[in-house]
Amino acid sequence: MSNLLHIDASVRGAASVSRQLTARAAERWRTTHPGGTATYRDLAANPIPHLDADNGLALMTPPDQHTPAQARTYALSVELIDEIKAADTVVLGMPLYNFGVPSLIKSWVDHIIVAGLSFSPDGTSLLGDTELIVLESRGGGYSPGTPRHGWDHAETWLPHGLSMTGLQPRIITAELTMATEDDRMAHLQPLAQQSLDNAHALIDALWAADDENAA
């Protein structure tokens, strides 16, 4: 049986474009995987605690030497990694905050980089069999030729951050999403709609082979 792990991270609730994109992708996945199961995790509603002075060494310390705080952190990492291992596909919503990945996602990534769980001690990746679809929303324009091309550090960081696990994100982006809310960007609304339409088309084409098999 196929399994989907659906993760959202935007703090904007129903107004979030990344949440709208992941919902569309999740519906597409269900259509092309009849009988499949789905697990949902909302990092904004239930944030992963950041690594700090109390728990920060949990993932580098043998479990039999853990403090209580470290034991709780390690158990959470096991839970998060097991969710990925149980999934054939992970759909992750990634809004761009201050030109980078939200700290909510950074903490999730930090918790799944664990020797023996997501990669072996010799460096072999253990999560590479799981498909990762990332639906990114960014309020401004960062495409080639724009003044802020290259300022989207989330898009470039995420593959590096996950590289030890073997997860290889395919990123689908909708940009200029603030054009409908910021009067200074009103003239960009046609480009924003085009970007959103392109993202929708790419989402709707996902898992086409499965769709044919289900027909």
Distance between CA atoms of residues 75 and 39, nearest Å: 18
Summarize pLDDT for 91-100 with one digit per residue, the tens: 999 999 999 9
pLDDT at 211 over 70: no
119-152 as b/e: b if 16+ CB within 10 A? beeeeebbbeebbbbbbbbbbbbbeeeeeeeeeb
Tell me what pLDDT residue 212 has: 44
Give the chain's domains with CATH numbers.
3-214 (3.40.50.360)
Note whether 5 and 39 are within 8 A (CB).
yes
What are the residues whose beta carbons fall under 8 Å from the beta carbon of 194, sequence distance 6 or more?
none
C-beta of residue 162 within 8 angstroms of C-beta of residue 169: yes
**Per-residue pLDDT at 66:** 96
17 pLDDT more than 80: yes
pLDDT digits (tens, 9 = 90+) for 167-191: 999 999 999 999 999 999 999 899 9
Answer for the pair 146, 105: CB distance below 8 angstroms, yes or no.
Answer: no
- Report whether pLDDT(214) > 50: no
φ, ψ for residue 174 (rounded to 5)? -120, 125
Closest residue by Cα to residue 6 from 46, 48, 36, 39:
39
Closest Cα partner for 112 from 30, 5, 21?
A: 5
What pLDDT was estimated at residue 139? 96
Give the model confidence (pLDDT) of 40-76 as tens digits: 999 999 999 999 999 999 999 999 999 999 999 999 9
What does the alpha-carbon distance between residue 60 and residue 95 come to, in Å, rounded to a whole number?
30
Dig out the tokens for 85 from the structure. 């291992």
* pLDDT tens digits, 107-157: 999 999 999 999 998 999 999 999 999 999 999 999 999 999 999 999 999
DSSP state at residue 50? P
In this prediction, residue 208 carries a pLDDT of 76
pLDDT of residue 1: 79
**Closest among 16, 44, 34 to 215, alpha carbons compared:** 34
